[in-house]
Amino acid sequence: MDPSYKARKEAFVSNLAGSNIADINAVSFVASASVLLWSALQSRLSFFTPSSPAALLTDFILNVLAILFATTAYSSAPILLNIFLVTPAVLLYLTQPLQRSQQKAKPPRKAAGKDDNPQDQAESLPVHPFLTTYRAAMMVVTCVAILAVDFRVFPRRFAKVENWGTSLMDLGVGSFVFSAGVVSARAVLKGRASRSKKTPFIGRLMNSVRHSVPLLVLGLIRLWSVKGLDYAEHVTEYGVHWNFFFTLGFLPPFVEIFDSLTALIPSYEALAVIISVIYQVALESTELKSYILISPRGSDLLSKNREGIFSFLGYLAIFLAGRGVGTRIIPRGTSASKTPQQARKSVLVSLALQVMFWSTMFFFNSSYAFGYGANILVSRRLANMPYVLWVASFNSAQILLFCLAETLFFPSVHRSTSKDGEEERNAFATSRILHAFNRGGLAIFLVANLLTGAVNLSIPTLDVSTPQAMGILIAYAAILTGLALVMDKYNLKLRL
Give the Cα separation of 202 and 256 in Å (integer).
10
Please confirm whether the linkage preceding 3 is cis (ω < 30° from 0). Answer: no
The alpha-helical segments, DSSP class H, found in 431-495 are 432-439, 441-458, 466-489
Rg, C-alpha atoms of the chain: 23
pTM of the model: 0.93
Tell me what pLDDT residue 1 has.
67
Tell me what pLDDT residue 379 has.
97
Cβ neighbours of residue 338 closer than 8 Å, sequence gap 6 or more: 108, 346
Write phi, then psi, for 406 (nearest 5 degrees): -65, -40
Tell me what pLDDT residue 100 has.
57
Tell me what pLDDT residue 98 has.
84
What DSSP string runs through 19-43? Answer: B-HHHHHHHHHHHHHHHHHHHHHHH
Give the Cα separation of 7 and 68 in Å (integer).
27
Per-residue pLDDT in tens (0 to 9) along the chain, 496 residues: 677 888 888 889 888 999 999 999 999 999 999 999 999 999 999 999 988 999 999 999 999 999 999 999 999 999 999 999 999 999 999 999 887 544 444 444 444 444 444 445 445 788 899 999 999 999 999 999 999 999 999 999 999 999 999 999 999 999 999 999 999 999 999 888 777 777 888 988 999 999 899 999 999 999 998 888 778 788 889 999 999 999 999 999 999 999 989 889 989 999 999 999 999 999 999 999 999 999 999 889 999 999 999 999 999 999 999 999 999 999 988 878 889 999 999 999 999 999 999 999 999 999 999 899 999 999 999 999 999 999 999 999 999 999 999 999 999 998 876 677 788 999 999 999 999 999 998 899 999 999 999 999 999 999 999 999 999 999 999 999 999 999 999 998 876 5
- Burial (CB count within 10 angstroms: exposed 0-12, middle 13-18, buried 19+), residue 240: middle
**Chain centroid to CA 228: how far?**
30
Tell me what pLDDT residue 496 has.
54
Does residue 146 contact residue 138 with C-beta atoms inside 8 Å?
A: no
Please measure the distance between the N-terminal and C-terminal CA atoms of the chain and give it in whole angstroms: 33
Write phi, then psi, for 338 (nearest 5 degrees): -130, 120
Give the Cα separation of 32 and 35 in Å (integer).
5
Neighbours of 320 (CB within 10 A): 32
**Chain centroid to CA 357: how far?**
19
Residue count of the chain, please give it.
496
Tell me what pLDDT residue 194 has.
78
What DSSP string runs through 61-126? Answer: IIIIIHHHHHTTTTTT-HHHHHHHHHHHHHHHHHH---SSPPPPPPPPPPPP-TT--HHHHHHTSP
Give the Cα separation of 433 and 487 in Å (integer).
11
Give the Cα separation of 171 and 373 in Å (integer).
22
Neighbours of 101 (CB within 10 A): 8
> What are the extents of the domains in the chain?
1-100+125-159+431-495, 171-418
Among 403, 255, 249, which Cα is nearest to 318's? Answer: 255
DSSP SS3 for 89: helix
Indicate the DSSP class of residue 374. Answer: -
